[in-house]
Homo-oligomer: A and B are copies of this chain.
Amino acid sequence: MRPRYTGIVPPLITPLAARDTLDVAGLERLVERLVAGGVSGLFILGTTGEAPSLSYRLRREFIGRACRFVAGRIPVLVGITDTSLVESANLAAHAADCGADAVVTSAPYYFPSGQPELREFLEDLLPELPLPLMLYNMPALTKTSFSAEVVSWALQQERIAGLKDSSGDLVYFRRMRRLAATQRPDWSFLVGPEELLAESVLLGGHGGINGGANLHPALYVSLYEAAKAGDVSRARELSEQVMNLSEAIYHVGRHGSAIIKGLKCSLSILGVCDDFMAAPFHRFQEAERRVIAQHLETLGIAR
């Protein structure tokens, strides 16, 4: 039994042309860019995809179009994280209809749940899902981490396929991997922050769901391959390039939204897709756009 998902699975940004309007042509270009870059799958409607900021109508449209553009070449994972179990289940059904491969959920994020409540939530949700489920640990935004107790329970659920960890806490990542080691060799452990991709894969992680792969998929794929092969010096070198990208693109804005804004702005400069942002955010203004453009040139990232 091997992990279902390995390698680089970019968390797709959601190309928007206007409020509640997809940039359909941009989405197609983005999908082609990533498939050509060698990624192992796509994760749509995650944090980087601004999912909670999108209407359900647009989310459904996006799922349909993304699956059609991918056309089975790589698996599509669909974020169904929500505050309402009913809406999560609705999205999951639609994802299955569209041919997605799995769904992904974090903890419900308005009310902070106690750990027993979080487990009950997963117990209630699981029977509603027509597709395998990946857990998505994102405590900074959901207020709740999946505890060792909840993960131990999840390891006993055949329908749960792994954990994406965006906590930035590699101690947590390792503790969870250790829990699964003997029981579930088929679980996938994917790391969120791209600055930790080298470290986590060198120590046995299975890959990354890294925002920067929207921009430069081949870099992340190469880094993953080097780390998987145990080639430390190449992993260090490529990881340094990832650090360069991260420093250049993610710290231009002042707020937490700077990462998504930086990615969308970059993709717009590269001609891939529009950089319209869903509320409560707005695209970078001209001054920041110029800074990003210079950084892209320095980084040598082009169409």
Contact = CB atoms under 8 A, between A and B. Distances in A.
A194 to B, nearest CB: 9
A125 interface: yes
A172 to B, nearest CB: 9
Kindly list the 9 A-B residue pairs having the minimum CB-CB distance in the complex, ordered from nearest.
A114-B255, A121-B280, A52-B83, A52-B110, A199-B199, A85-B279, A55-B86, A230-B232, A171-B195
A17 interface: no
Contact of A110 (B19, B109, B255, B282): B109
A178 B195 CA distance: 12
Interface string A182-214: 000000000001011011101110000000000
Contact of A120 (B90, B204, B233, B280): B280
Interface in A42-61: 47, 50, 52-58
Interface band, chain A: 35 or more
Contact of A236 (B57, B204, B236): B204
A158 interface: no
Given A112-B255, A114-B257, 18 more contacts: A50-B111, A54-B84, A55-B87, A55-B90, A56-B56, A58-B86, A109-B109, A111-B257, A112-B141, A113-B257, A120-B280, A120-B282, A124-B280, A171-B195, A171-B196, A174-B195, A199-B203, A230-B232
